[in-house]
Amino acid sequence: MTTFVATWREPGEVAIRNAWARRQKGGSLLDCLEHGLAEAEWDASLLAIGRGALPNADGEVELDASIMDGATLEAGAVCSLRGILPAISVARRVLESTPHVMLAGDQARRFALAQGFEPTNLMTPENIARYEQWCEQNRPGMLHHVHAVGQHVGDTITMLGLEAPGHVAAASSTSGLPYKLPGRVGDSPIVGAGIYADDEVGAAGATGWGEELWKAVASFRAVEQMRRGASPQEACEAVVRQMLRRQPKSRQLACAVFAIDLQGRVGGAVTEGEFPVWTCRDGELSLTVHRALET
């Protein structure tokens, strides 16, 4: 049995269907997570990640991505990557071709170009128009976070994978918060914050307000809850309850955590609003919508 889990309704569906398609062709878990996210990055209709994503306050798309192998605890990540797709594939190249975990900004771009990635324009007429509208209505440099598009449709895809009898992986790709300050990095490329995977326990991922999720080290915390015996649902709720208690700001914007254990049980929790999570079990897709925990 192979299970994939992915965040948010529209972008997550694109990623999870492509991950499963790659699995049917014999891809490894890392191949599938990379491929699923890469296809979503190329899809300019998704505001969430990659081409056509909402840009930073300078009108430039800056990508963060990470991938982690639960078998070895090896990880690769990029942050503030501009003009290269797919960011998740650059992150995987960092994992496989360097002794490092993360490359940043211009130097991440230089690494990608040296690895054969092509310079790519990530702006589309649609995201230019959205940016111009935002400029008219807001003072550039102010953080308007995820509600800048009116409704939080998810600016990130985080994915987890499990293959029997007990191998997990996690990956995330994002353009970060819309209209963020240039150079701002969120939780998604940070191992422990945006993703974590350990074959001894399971995997977890996060999405939403990256500053709060990072301070909570949300994904690692969820995995450690499971290590101590919590189910994935209990683990995610424990992380979110702790955030609500210790980080009151996390009530203002969605901070979401989801997890899978080695038995294939999946859980999720969110501080505010709704959090849709796709699960794909050997090709069978289902969508679960988590709602904010009562406090």
> Segment 199-228, which members bind ligand SD4 (CB under 6 A)?
207-210
What tokens appear for 139 in the block?
Answer: 């003072």
Residue from 3, 188, 219, 225 binding ligand SD4 (CB under 6 A):
188
Name the phi and psi angles at 260, rounded to 5.
-135, 140
**Least gap, CB of 97 to ligand SD4 (angstroms):** 25
**Least gap, CB of 174 to ligand SD4 (angstroms):** 5
Q: Which of 88, 286, 271 is nearest to 169 (CA)?
A: 88
Cα 237 to Cα 233: distance, rounded to the nearest angstrom = 6
3: which strand partners?
A: 162, 281
Residue from 34, 41, 187, 237 binding ligand SD4 (CB under 6 A):
187
DSSP label at residue 273 = S
Q: Within 13 Å, how many C-alpha atoms sit on residue 102's CB side?
A: 16
Residue nearer to ligand SD4 on the CB measure, 195 or 262: 195
> Segment 147-186, which members bind ligand SD4 (CB under 6 A)?
154-156, 174, 176-177, 186
Cβ atoms of 175 and 53 closer than 8 Å: yes
**Least gap, CB of 167 to ligand SD4 (angstroms):** 25
Q: The tokens 């203002």 sit on which residue? A: 252
Specify whether 207 is catalytic.
Answer: no
Residue nearer to ligand SD4 on the CB measure, 38 or 262: 38
Residue nearest ligand SD4 by beta-carbon distance: 210
Task: Please state the length of the chain.
Answer: 295
Residue nearer to ligand SD4 on the CB measure, 231 or 242: 242
Candidates 156, 174, 207, 279; catalytic one: 156
What tokens appear for 42 in the block?
Answer: 């190329």
DSSP label at residue 256 = E
Residue nearer to ligand SD4 on the CB measure, 26 or 150: 150
Binding site for ligand SD4 (CB under 6 A): 146, 154-156, 174, 176-177, 186-188, 207-210
